[in-house]
Structure 1
Amino acid sequence: MAVERNIKCVVAYDGTKYQGWQRLKNSDHTIQGKIEHVLSKMTNEKIEVMGSGRTDAGVHARWQVFNFHTRCQKSTKNMMDYMNQYLPEDIGVCQVEDVDLRFHSRFHAKKKTYIYRIWIGEYPPVFERKYVHVVTETLHLQKMKEAALLFIGEHDFQGFCSRKVKKSTVRKINHVQLKQEGHELTISVTGNGFLYNMVRIMVGTLIDIGKGTLTKETITEALDTKDRSKAGERAPAKGLILHDVSY
């Protein structure tokens, strides 16, 4: 019998038309579902892939990691070629490699970085419209930068989550950076893990602070009370990109 292998892959995708990463019983419009369908045909096995995280509907990825177990003896190069031939054109596999059987893409991830893209201006960015959130108001960048520092460190982020969580809601944020070039403002967030909609609520709160409708004290209050209603609006999914996963 062929030896079992654990295959680690890196995939990029445009999440515009998908209902998120996670496979759904009532829909085939998920990233995980598309990948599993192709891999099951390739291996003639029932393949289940483990992703490093579950991106929401409409969220994109430049560097999503997943792994799967198989007895298929194709080379990793042939596997990558096969996947890129049969996956939709808005899903692309960038790397494929054999790893230790104990490796798990989610449990072994140390840090993840998300980038949120905001377009500031009166006219819409036609060619980037699917990947940026347009804000027509002027944003006070310095106030946003000062407020972003309050996220850094280990906190209970229940107030920045869209659903109640039974497990721990404590997460550590290592880095938050805001950078504006021309009309585009990017917000980069690195942490050891993220709750459901957490980055989008963090970004939405910073946008509201930039507009002047909230103050930075809002962040402290939402962290202290763990009350979602204290935080700002949830930013739209299309501006968010899973940028990197570190092991």
Structure 2
Amino acid sequence: MKNYKLVISYDGNNFHGFQKQPKDFTVQEALEAALDKLLTSYQLTYAGRTDTGVHAKQQVLSITTSDLLKDSFKESLNALVGKHIYIKKVTLANKNFHPRHDAKQRTYKYFVNTPSNYEAYNLGYSYFVKKELSIVELNLIAKLFIGKNNFTNYSKLRTDQNPLREIALSKWTKNSQYFIYTITGNSFLHNMVRSIVGVQLAAFDGKLEGKSISTSLKIPLEQRFKHVAPSEGLYLWNIKY
């Protein structure tokens, strides 16, 4: 048995998330439909699930198989998997490599458009807000999330999940087209990044106070925040091993 590492990207608009579901078409389903035509048997694992509409610049998978992958495997898989997924790299990995358990850090980026830089073709790939934003003010809010904090109010937690996560980077930048939020952490909870973005934009809009955000990260409030940014602006950007 050999273990292969795959790096892929995909357009989340065309899938109901990454993980296979009984009724909806997902990235995993598209991948497995293609792999079934190329391999006798295999086991597919992945670094993390993304929700419906969330994109990936770098998602990492592993395929454990007794089949010997030919040099043309990447090209063949790309030909079968459909135009909304792209296999960027296929390499032989250590037999014990696990894309989720071995990940040290994950980085997500969230793209926001404002009236001064919005284009219609950005629909589905960024979030349009109807007022102008301030990098300085947003970064005052963003830095509140840095460090080890309790993200109970920022996710849909399962009862067995630890809500503590450590954030190494939380920062807004701006280019000619987008306001871009970058967040790097050891791991993330379900809906956590979108909730963090939504809460920041709500605070910028005066709907939340910075003090309530700081408090919630140490002593969770009774209810999770309802401010969740839409999925189309979110990208799984990088995974560090």
> How does the TM-score come out when normalised to structure 2?
0.94
Aligned to 1:61: 56
Counterpart CA distance in 2 for 1:186 and 1:167 is 29
The answer to which of 167-176 and 84-93 deviates more is: 167-176
Q: Does 1:6 align with 2:12?
A: no
The structure 1 residue matched to 2:43, chosen from 13, 36, 48, is: 48
Q: Name 2:230's counterpart in structure 1.
A: 236
In 2, the alpha carbon distance for the partners of 1:232 and 1:6 equals 41
Distance 1:116 1:145 in 2: 14
Provide closer, same or farther for how the CA distance between residues 183 and 211 of structure 1 changes in structure 2, counting only shifts above 3 A.
Answer: farther
Q: Deviations over 1:58-83 (max 9, x none)?
A: 100000000011011122x3211111
CA distance in structure 1 between the partners assigned to 2:123 and 2:17 by the alignment:
19
Correspondence for 2:217: 223
Q: Is the 8 A contact 1:121 1:183 kept in 2?
A: no
Tell me how far apart the structure 2 counterparts of residues 42 and 103 of structure 1 sit (CA, whole Å). Answer: 22
How far off is 1:22 after superposition? Answer: 0.5
Are 1:176 and 2:165 matched, yes or no?
A: no
Match of 2:14 among 17, 41, 47: 17
Structure 1 ranges of 4+ moved more than 4 A: none
The aligned amino acid for 1:105 is: P
Does residue 1:125 correspond to 2:119, yes or no? yes
Between the aligned partners of 1:181 and 1:219, the Cα distance in structure 2 is 27
In 2, the alpha carbon distance for the partners of 1:54 and 1:222 equals 25
CA contact (8 A) 1:115 1:240 kept: yes
| Cα shift at 1:6 | 0.3
CA contact (8 A) 2:115 2:131 kept: yes
3-state SS of 1:196 partner: coil
Q: Provide Cα deviations, 1:31-65, integer angstroms capped at 9, x if missing partner.
A: 111111211220122x3311100011110000000
**What is the CA–CA distance in structure 2 between the aligned matches of 1:130 and 1:204, rounded to whole Å?**
17
Q: Which of the residues 69, 72, 81 maps onto 1:74?
A: 69
* 2:32 is the alignment partner of 1:36: yes
Q: 1:64 to 1:143 in 2, by over 3 A?
A: same
**CA apart distance, 1:235:** 0.2
Give 5+ residue unaligned stretches, structure 1.
Answer: none
* Percentage of matched positions with identical amino acids: 28
Local SS of the residue matching 2:232: helix
Tell me the secondary structure at the aligned position of residue 173 of structure 1. Answer: strand
- Inter-CA distance 228–142: structure 2 relative to 1 (3 Å threshold): farther
Is 1:158–1:228's contact at 8 Å kept on the other side of the alignment? no
For 1:117 and 1:184, locate their aligned partners in 2 and report how far apart those are by CA, in whole Å: 6
One of 96, 101, 105 as aligned partner of 1:102:
96
TM-score (norm 1): 0.92
Q: C-alpha displacement at 1:102, in angstroms?
A: 0.6
Distance 1:48 1:157, change over 3 A: same
CA distance in 1: counterparts of 2:58 and 2:220, whole angstroms: 31
Which residue is equivalent to 1:158? 152
Structure 2 unaligned residues grouped into runs of 5+? none
Give the 3-state SS of the residue equivalent to 1:49 in structure 2. Answer: strand
Alignment RMSD: 1.6
Deviations 1:100-134 (A, max 9, x none): 11100000000000000000116852121110000
Of residues 117-126 and 131-140 in structure 1, the stretch that sits farther from structure 2 once superposed is 117-126
Pair 1:217–1:183, CA change in 2 (3 A): farther
